[in-house]
Amino acid sequence: MKIDLTDTTASKINKALVKGRRAIGTPAVGMVLTLVIVTDEENAYDALRAANDASREHPSRTLVVIKRVSRSPRDRTKSRLDAEVRVGADAGTGETVVLRLYGEVSDHAQSVVLPLLLPDAPVVVWWSVDAPRDPAGDPLGALGQRRVTDSYAAEKPVHELRSRAESYEPGDTDLAWARITPWRSMLAAALDQIDCEVVSVEVAGEESNPSVELLAMWLADRLHVHVRRAVSAGPGLTQVRLETTGGPITLHRSDGAMATLALPGQPDRAVALKRRETSELLAEELRRLDPDDTYASALRFGVDRLGGIPSATQRADVSARGPESLPVRQKAPESSAESAAPAKASEPALPASPAGDGETGRPTPAQMPPVKKADSP
């Protein structure tokens, strides 16, 4: 059931929700939380579909906040609130209110959302695109116990991770972190099976994928070893290789669905490691409302403390022209055998990029200081 309201108020929206519940025969409120989605018109459909799918696991009242840009100066001074109320089959297993804000009211979205929150229920705020630099300091973000962003949707994902680290507050999280949950579980289980010490790590994946950076930072933060960040064609994460005193541990995924886990002294095994939909990632984040200390520790480790590696062709070019001729961040070797081969002592080390080099500046492991756990601010 859908109810359209034009130039309305929060009070009329609440009355429409009650009317809709009575019309479908469910007058009681059975939601467990309020999910506030902040998005734009272009991404509203995908965000709402993901929220509806996630509501099968977490029945919630979903408030979609869309700030419409007025074309003329006169329209920008006028305030108007349009709403679309959905209940029943049109809203998954909960209730949905799509709020379109025009004019000056778009600068005070929290005043519109506040009367629509479920009483005595937790609030989760999700920015599907264009997340603020400081989610906890944002007026809408201040309403939530959990604040979910998605660095993958940013124009410069690695820069976005730096901003998240600078402004982190307990309750912040990112869908890029949820994307690597299966990888973290698989790697932790693999290390539990072998009595060894990790010497070094290499993580390969797409160049502008924040999940690859987060996995590398998590490994460096937890294992206290140098982690080299290599670049591959994807999709997403493709390989993690742990050099240990008992032999290499490799988790390789080339097709985005099935991965191969190789442990020393054991036959290779195929494991399911499918890339998940946004609805699955969102449902995972809604399962916990307490601060994620592991995410905070990995985020604060710092993306700039990861090392880069050169390919064989680029190392030969460095030998011919000198190390100053190449950038620090390099492509991963094509074959796993080549990527596993350690650099020879005669090969020149790449110089660290100067400060402010953006996403491309990476020191080599030889130039990096000893790895210690990042201190919390």
pLDDT at 28: 59
Give the β-pairing of 247-253 and 172-174.
unpaired
Task: Output 235 or 343, whichever has higher pLDDT.
Answer: 235
Beta strand spans in 59-130 (E): 60-67, 80-87, 95-102, 123-127
CA distance 36 to 84: 15
pLDDT at 255: 87
3 state SS of 255: coil
CA distance 79 to 100: 11
Q: Partners of 127 in the beta sheet?
A: 38
Percent of the chain surpassing pLDDT 70? 77
pLDDT band at 345 (very low <50, low <70, confident <90, very high): very low
Q: Kindly give, in sequence order, each residue whose CB lies less than 8 Å from that of residue 318, ignoring residues fewer than 6 positions away.
A: 310, 325, 326, 347, 348, 350
CA distance 118 to 65: 16
Q: What are the pLDDT digits (tens) for 224-272?
A: 998 998 988 878 899 999 999 989 999 999 888 899 999 998 999 999 9
Token pair for residue 312? Answer: 């064989």
3 state SS of 359: helix
Percent of the chain surpassing pLDDT 90? 51
pLDDT at 103: 86
Name the pTM for this structure.
0.78
CA distance 239 to 256: 11
CA distance 239 to 36: 35
CA distance 54 to 96: 13
Q: What are the pLDDT digits (tens) for 279-329?
A: 999 999 999 889 999 999 999 998 888 775 443 433 344 344 443 333 333
Its sign, for the CA torsion 347, 353, 357, 358, is positive
Task: Output 295 or 1, whichever has higher pLDDT.
Answer: 295
**What integer is the mean pLDDT of 356-374?**
45
Assess whether pLDDT exceeds 90 at residue 134.
yes
> What is the 8-class DSSP label of residue 7?
S
Q: What are the pLDDT digits (tens) for 67-106?
A: 987 666 666 667 889 999 998 777 667 889 999 999 888 8
Token pair for residue 314? Answer: 């680029």
